[in-house]
Chain A
Amino acid sequence: MSLINEIDYGTPASKSEKLVTLTIDGMKVSVPEGTSIMRAAMEVGNQIPKLCATDMLDAFGSCRLCLVEIEGRNGTPASCTTPVAEGIVVKTQTERLKRLRKGVMELYISDHPLDCLTCSANGDCELQEMAGVVGLREVRYGYEGENHTTLGKDESNPYFTYEQSKCIVCNRCVRACEEVQGTFALTISGRGFDSRVSPGMNEPFLTSECVSCGACVQSCPTATLNEKSMVEIGTPEHSVVTTCAYCGVGCAFKAEMRGDELVRMVPYKDGKANRGHSCVKGRFAYGYATHQDRILKPMIRSSITEPWKEVTYEEAIQYAASEFKRIQEKYGKRAVGGITSSRCTNEETYLVQKLIRGGFGNNNVDTCARVCHSPTGYGLSQTYGTSAGTQDFDSVEQTDVVLIIGANPTDGHPVFASRLKKRLRQGAKLIVVDPRRTDIVRSPHIEAAYHLALKPGTNVAIVTALAHVIVTEGLVNEAFVRERCDWEDFQEWAAFVADERHSPEAVEKYTQVPADLVRQAARLYATGGNAAIYYGLGVTEHSQGSTTVMAIANLAMATGNIGREGVGVNPLRGQNNVQGSCDMGSFPHELPGYRHISDDATRASFEALWGVNLDDEPGLRIPNMFDAAVDGTYKGMYVQGEDILQSDPDTHHVSAGLAALECLVVQDLFLNETANYAHVFLPGCTFLEKDGTFTNAERRIQRVRKVMAPKNGYADWEVTQMLANAMGFKMDYGHPSEIMDEIAALTPSFAGVSYARLDELGSVQWPCNEKAPAGTPVMHIGGFVRGKGKFMLTEYVPTDEKTGPRFPLLLTTGRILSQYNVGAQTRRTANVAWHPEDVLEIHPFDAENRGIRDGDYVKVESRAGSTSLKAEISERVAPGVVYTTFHHPVTQANVVTTDYSDWATNCPEYKVTAVQVSPSNGPTPWQEEYEDLTRKSRRIAAEAAE
């Protein structure tokens, strides 16, 4: 293995289809019009010296190192800023150019510290490399002149250092922050010799607006911005391309290694989801993999009041299997089940559902998508015929109008948000439907044309009102609808939405959105060119989550915004493999590939390969499992890589369900909150320690590659296989690729997927089969998967979770950039520097009414329970609305959320809880009790003396 170094062409590729032919150093080359001479030279393998240029950024032309000569033209133009022209003859290496470049390098080096041997970028420094390239042998000015070595280092950021003395003011970091990340946190302050990179107004990096995405570090050609891990460990010697284990964007990274030590994660330029960009989580927050809290040995206990006892894998597996068998014998076959992990690989998820269906003999399997995007599965399946987003991320580059509903991409899906912001800066228009003023509503060089700050819980009313305007103002794309959709359904739907009760004026009284804004937003969406909808959990986590998804699908069909690039309906999926876990048959009613368990032919194909008879009845969904456990009919559960106690709503009910189980098996990296109620703990392994695949929000299947041995001894799929064998359900896979081969053999939409295909193409988007051997970037081209698109009637039904005198405020929950889901991983990294605890955002008006000051402890109480946390006074939320995150178990925001759920899928209504907020002195009694329970539950018995 060696270090993967992608070619840097110096400037971005031109998208022109017209070719231009020129001669460079005697070689003819044809490149797209608009290509720089620098890039054209690289196309024929001629690397022109450069410092300020890199192909992730637009040309800047400041370093004067990439000079060339062009026959018939005066001077020595910079090759990065000079576009190719037909017939020109370019020379990149002449005596004059050599002399000029040496002169430039002499100036750079004259004030640069010459500590190369002890510099953290030694061997990874473009300045050092260019000094060699231009043949620099002396610096005529000497080294005694003025320099910047007294300026010191900014080490405030937990992950990288800023060493000012090494800065050559190439602006690459500033431009990366602007062009790639879109945060505009950096600038060059001072003039002339005093020019230095400045975060914000000369603030430390940590407290500036920097979001720590790493783009500046990646672009820095010297040691000025350098990963602390590089400073500490040294340069890597080999690298492996793998896929990030955070969020549904699915960024490809090079895991750069020294031996089996991870030196750094560098975004992979050929990654088709991230195109070389990253966020603070994927780029830096991998320290949890080696955190001291990791449990590396299996443990068992007969009661949750006992301390854990470390045992061998064999003992733990045998104990779990014997308990599951005992429970099934006593209470029936359907008394056990399990939950697959949306953080684990496709292969592991497939195996867990296979164990439950084939080994347990029932369909009591579910996954975390139940509590996030299950309404997407239902809604898009009803309208379009498939349970996934319609586009690839590249599609946004063709979008003219972006409609974001209930999503906060800059926090939840930051790398996609950067691509989206780039398109918005190019002139695409933005409409945001969200109760909060999220960052995307107004950020540098971006402002939403319309922000519909609706009252939480009124999505259906707003989206149907948008449809009302489109239909009643004659903005329907009738040609598209007639050709592609069921015309009778459309007519019924059009008459339904045209009713006056769905007009923006009629719904304003409960959505609280001015009717005129709704009308203008609808007109823009329908007439602004290619319009694309991106939505998140603000759509799905409601009692009408599925209805809103269908209302969104209706909008896209009515305006013809589906079935080509630049348009579509795009659910931003939460966890890294939540799309994959759904694809792999994690829902209790569906086998892999979204085929209902009652379908005899589908079941027969699985039965033939698995050698067992399958139950044809749907199993329990996660909330139903808790209900059944409390009822006493569900007694055993296998949970892989999910922390349902912290992530699921109405914690009191969840804990009652878990406490009622006779055998709970938890497989995880850490003793998570769910493990407080577990009887068997099986150590999990990280994405760095195993092979497999993840599927991201754009249906893209990408390889996860092992870069180090599992610290716990086994990959997760191996542990599941051991449990299956102990249950008497034989599995003998030697490698995850064999599991993928089985998935492909049984799942039509995955028929063309194999590790060989993934290695060849880098990634593929399903459906990938005979019809689409290279995958399907955009779905529903020419026709919907279900045939004709189906319009669905979407009546607004208010939630039963209502405010009143006791609970006058509406709580909505979400997440923040630096933390991920329940925080099990990110809380065990330096990301806590940005978000050490959950806080409650409350509007100044509501705070003042309650005598609450910024930073005060407050109690949040609902009909379900109460918790306490600190208040943050903020105008991001409207009066009457409060907001918090659920990253910290100390807070347990879900103690407050209720068990109201989506009518179709039981997806919990996290986004609407009626609460009261009052000043508090500290933790609630429940928080104190829970802390005590946790402390006792995490005791591990000392090993007996020999």
Chain B
Amino acid sequence: MNGPLMSHSTAEKLVYMANQIATAFAQQSHEAAVEATRTHIRKFWDPRMRAKIAEHVAAGGEGLSSVAKEALEGLPPVRAA
């Protein structure tokens, strides 16, 4: 896994962070890990970050682990400020 230091690009960093979260819940069942990852991101990521990662997912979600991708696909859309 490449670290975010390979680039300060926001998308790469967010992908890295989402994968980190998914890995932290990896010991749970797949469904539970997906739900825990989704809840964590919903609870702690600001709308800008969620919107950016949503764009990345919509563009194919390159680099995301299966748990992270599934979690992000189920995130509710970000409301405008």
Could you tell me which A residues sit within 8 Å of B by CB distance? 332-334, 362-364, 496, 543-544, 546-547, 588-589, 596, 598, 615, 617-621, 624, 627-628, 630-631, 633, 653, 793, 795, 797, 800-801, 863-864, 898-900, 903-906
Contacts and interface: CB of A to CB of B under 8 A. Distances in A.
A382 to B, nearest CB: 11
Given A800-B3, A801-B3, A900-B5, A547 B44 contact: no
Contact of A904 (B21, B26, B49): B21
B24 A627 contact: no
A720 to B, nearest CB: 23
A128 to B, nearest CB: 63
A795 B46 contact: no
B36 to A, nearest CB: 11
Given A334-B81, A628-B48, A903-B21, A864 B5 contact: yes
Contacts of B5: 863-864, 898-900
24 contacts: A333-B81, A334-B81, A543-B20, A589-B43, A596-B43, A598-B43, A617-B81, A618-B45, A620-B48, A620-B49, A627-B8, A793-B28, A795-B24, A795-B26, A795-B27, A797-B23, A797-B24, A800-B2, A863-B5, A864-B5, A899-B4, A899-B8, A900-B5, A903-B23
Interface of B: 1-5, 8, 10, 13, 17, 20-21, 23-24, 26-28, 40, 43-49, 79, 81
Given A547-B24, A619-B46, A899-B5, 13 more contacts: A334-B47, A543-B20, A546-B24, A588-B46, A618-B44, A624-B48, A627-B10, A793-B27, A797-B24, A863-B5, A900-B4, A904-B21, A905-B44
Nearest to B26: A795
A496 B27 contact: yes
Contacts of A621: 44, 46
Given A362-B81, A630-B8, A900-B5, A620 B20 contact: no
A332 B43 contact: no
A800 B46 contact: no
Contacts of A546: 24
A801 B16 CA distance: 13
Nearest to A864: B5
Contact of B81 (A332, A596, A800, A863): A332
Given A633-B48, A900-B3, A618 B27 contact: no
A619 B48 CA distance: 9
A633 B52 CA distance: 12
A627 B21 contact: no
Chain A at the B interface: mostly helix, strand, loop or mixed? loop
A466 B27 CA distance: 19
Given A362-B81, A496-B27, A653 B8 contact: yes
A630 B11 CA distance: 13
Contacts of B2: 800
Contacts of B79: 617
Nearest to A546: B24
Nearest to B4: A899
Given A364-B46, A627-B10, A631-B10, A800 B1 contact: yes
A904 B2 CA distance: 19
Nearest to B52: A631
Contact of A903 (B8, B24, B49): B24
A619 B81 CA distance: 11
A615 B81 contact: yes
8 tightest A-B CB contacts, nearest first: A903-B20, A793-B27, A800-B3, A903-B24, A333-B81, A620-B46, A617-B47, A795-B27
Nearest to B16: A800
A912 to B, nearest CB: 12
A624 B8 CA distance: 12
A421 B2 CA distance: 44
A857 B2 CA distance: 33
A659 B44 CA distance: 26
Contacts of A624: 46, 48-49
Contacts of A598: 43
A630 B8 CA distance: 9
Contacts of B4: 899-900
A619 B3 CA distance: 24
Contacts of A543: 20
Contacts of B49: 620, 624
Contacts of A547: 24
Contacts of A496: 27
A543 B19 CA distance: 12
Nearest to A905: B44
